[in-house]
Structure 1
């Protein structure tokens, strides 16, 4: 590869995508200008050797959607003002969804790199053909480019003025009732898995990549497992070494598209994530506004993506988060009901690296995720159990005051991590400050003397934060079975 100069790149290309049924491997190909191709692969074990009819067409639509969404990892290397799709056409709905994912999902990336991406990433749209459905619509190659002067993408996808919304509706495929449940090794997905088990829903725990920690958690469930392989194009790492733009991407959006493809290949009707309502709340940054590290875990993404899948990919494929009606604290309360996973789970992001090694210690004890999970669980389980899980008492370490201050949004903004809202952290610490077993710990005492007096007492009550919310995409019959258990 010749030297890469991100400032000289003018165009990003979605070159092509294909799926080999005999190997279960999807290939997603990208390029900058006329430079070398970058090929990512996604391997889905157990894919059927042959697909026919409507299901084959749905797989093609899902594959193209994945191609577009996964391209965010590569586009960000140069963020050029022009984008083209070499091999297929898309409609206005598809462009609106994908543009929204790039704009909002790259929010933290843009903030950290001092970039303004509003209106920059625009996909070419072709008029819908009689047989076209969303990302799978047939048509001539869309090679038109989109310029930086185009209008900004709105938070929720709307029909583009460049083309009318396609009139086609995705078919009902007759998928069997079964859930692919994303497992990430942390408390949230384990709460979902056990809730579905209790509700009598057949499920397969599913993860992407080679993490041994996630595999150990998956094995602990005793349920069927599906480990999907994802290999990024090696050229991307070389671009990073040569000074490409780099930073956080909306990985949950990519994983969602991968799992939609996997669900169709498996012939099942549900893709289940475990994103709580707190994920919709970002970091409030003075002079900038809200930047949400976990935007693709939030409600706006879930609603837009789930509706798109049912309208354009398969009408009977349900994408939803089982924990959307719950706050982080409510999820922690659910997790604390059993100690079955205490020695296996970890939410510490320092444990999840591309190489996938399983760390000796499951909790680093110093990152925002460790801080928040410790704090969220503390009101709901015995102190001895929590300290045993983490190996030490994080709230009795004065050196970690700054990390907990950020969680509280005290003289700092919420960390760029998948952690709960500031009000949840404040309510959790206020709860601990009133308990004899916790109130003498260094950081609890500091909160009680320094921070709590500046806060209104009615804002520190934990009970309102445990109330079930009505905003979700959980199928109605399933939600009726779950609601009572979640509220208890």
Structure 2
């Protein structure tokens, strides 16, 4: 393999599904094929009435997963062999690749605006009917607080649910087992050649993983028979990390509401009227979710982890569930603190992150004080400031090093009227949660 940055074409070569294995093949120019496989264990035969929908989703899966490989070279020409998608699908992909790779482009000094164009076969009439999918819900599990809030709130409503994850993480395995719900463990095997491309000088960086997992779960819903996929992406995910050269750069773009709406619309037009793709936590800011987790998640306090260093593909992982150094550790600690007894929180993390001067820069970034929000799945700066202000008023927290520094140095520069917790705890009407899951929102809000 040679440097993919010298390539002119990125090719979607072919895709297939045989006996529970989806095989997705890519290539740069006429180079070596890159073959990714996704495994669906004990997969039943897909019923004939779902065949057309299945073919549409399998193609979409091939095209979305390709973002992991395309980014190594970002050539200007995209070729799709074996049949072009329709215009609506191509437009979804243009949008996903542009915004989902915005952080990657920013960090690598690239500008992808006007660069990505998926070919298509024009508009096609699409009006799929209902597929007759069983009334049950797939709940993607990430091992952190958000998906566990969804699990517990859905469980309390009596909706039939299965937890599902696409990972090799023992931490997620442990959380899945602790739920006591039926479990579905899917596996994604990246093409070995991708890592060789990186060694040869290919571009590297963040890709929209939630979009990839969403496409995988759409296929799983058709294979195993589920009418709902309920992710746990909160309202704060729609907030950009920063603005650069006229473009919003959002680390969490594929977790945001814009992508959720785009994909749900695509499902309605290309798959079936009775398959729902949604996010249960969409009405809520991160602080509302941490409040719910403090109340609902006690069974998981000793197994959950939101520290992303536990889930990296390459590189060292922390010795325990929390590294205590990354933005996710910082934010989860800060966001839980207003809603959980201090001894309980310190027991979960094994240390007090707010009484450690070496963590100053990390928390300043969360507060958006002299820095922008971290490129991580964390809440908005306003949430972090509201949480820190609440702690500065509490005797058990206000003498800790970083809380005291906030009160002395940062707070005088802020408008106290904008630091209340309550607005961050209120639900938004901006969501598309289906009617059968609305009772779970009452559980999250403590109204049940």
Query: TM-score, structure 1 length as denominator?
Result: 0.89
1:113-132 matches, within 5 Å, as 113-127=108-122
Partner of 2:128: 170
1:339-364 per-position Cα deviation (integer Å, ceiling 9, x unaligned): 11000000001111227998541000
Partner of 1:12: 10
Partner of 2:70: 75
Residue 460, structure 1, aligned to residue 428, structure 2: no
Q: In 2 relative to 1, CA 178–355 (structure 1 residues): closer, same or farther, beyond 3 Å?
A: farther
1:142-161 matches, within 5 Å, as none
Alignment partners' CA distance in 1, 2:358 and 2:206: 27
Q: CA deviation at 1:487?
A: 2.7
Q: CA deviation at 1:121?
A: 1.3
Maintained 8 Å contact 2:242/2:373 = yes
1:371-390 per-position Cα deviation (integer Å, ceiling 9, x unaligned): 00000000000000000000
Partner residue of 1:449 out of 408, 413, 418: 408
Partner of 1:155: none
Residue 105, structure 1, aligned to residue 100, structure 2: yes
Q: CA deviation at 1:288?
A: 5.5
Partner of 1:40: 36
Q: CA deviation at 1:53?
A: 2.5
1:20-76 per-position Cα deviation (integer Å, ceiling 9, x unaligned): 0x3x0000000111111110000011211x334231221111110000000000000
Query: TM-score, structure 2 length as denominator?
Result: 0.97
Partner residue of 2:334 out of 345, 354, 375: 375
For 2:295, what is the secondary structure of its paired residue? coil
Partner of 2:154: 196
Alignment partners' CA distance in 2, 1:90 and 1:171: 20
Q: CA deviation at 1:426?
A: 0.1
Looking at both structures, which has the greater relative contact order when contacts are Cα pairs under 8 Å and sequence separation is at least 6?
2
Maintained 8 Å contact 2:149/2:444 = no
Partner of 1:130: none
Partner residue of 1:235 out of 190, 193, 203: 193
1:173-210 per-position Cα deviation (integer Å, ceiling 9, x unaligned): 10001111100000000000001001111111100021
1:208-261 per-position Cα deviation (integer Å, ceiling 9, x unaligned): 021111000100001111110100100000000111000000000000000000
Residue 390, structure 1, aligned to residue 388, structure 2: no
Q: CA deviation at 1:408?
A: 0.4
Alignment partners' CA distance in 1, 2:177 and 2:318: 17
Alignment partners' CA distance in 2, 1:379 and 1:41: 43
Partner residue of 1:248 out of 190, 206, 209: 206
Task: Give the RMSD, CA atoms, in angstroms.
Answer: 1.4
Q: CA deviation at 1:296?
A: 0.3
For 2:139, what is the secondary structure of its paired residue? strand
For 1:176, what is the secondary structure of its paired residue? coil
Maintained 8 Å contact 1:46/1:266 = no
Partner of 1:144: none
Partner of 2:305: 346
Partner residue of 1:334 out of 285, 292, 301: 292
Partner residue of 2:278 out of 295, 320, 323: 320
Q: CA deviation at 1:272?
A: 1.2
Maintained 8 Å contact 2:322/2:329 = yes
Count how many residue pairs are aligned between Structure 1 and Structure 2.
445
Q: CA deviation at 1:7?
A: 3.6
Maintained 8 Å contact 1:211/1:356 = no
For 1:16, what is the secondary structure of its paired residue? strand
Partner of 2:248: 290
In structure 2, runs of 5+ residues without a counterpart are none
Maintained 8 Å contact 2:237/2:377 = yes
Partner of 1:154: none
Q: CA deviation at 1:476?
A: 2.1
Q: CA deviation at 1:79?
A: 0.3
Alignment partners' CA distance in 2, 1:208 and 1:357: 20
Alignment partners' CA distance in 1, 2:367 and 2:432: 30
Q: CA deviation at 1:286?
A: 6.2
Alignment partners' CA distance in 1, 2:149 and 2:405: 32
Is the deviation greater in 309-318 or in 105-114?
Answer: 309-318
Q: In 2 relative to 1, CA 321–290 (structure 1 residues): closer, same or farther, beyond 3 Å?
A: same
Is the deviation greater in 86-95 or in 357-366?
Answer: 357-366
For 1:268, what is the secondary structure of its paired residue? coil
Maintained 8 Å contact 1:19/1:27 = yes
1:83-123 per-position Cα deviation (integer Å, ceiling 9, x unaligned): 01011121110001111110000000000001010121111
Alignment partners' CA distance in 1, 2:352 and 2:419: 23
Partner of 1:59: 54
Moved over 6 A (4+): 355-358
1:426-466 per-position Cα deviation (integer Å, ceiling 9, x unaligned): 00000000000000000000000100110001110010110
For 1:470, what is the secondary structure of its paired residue? coil
Partner of 1:148: none
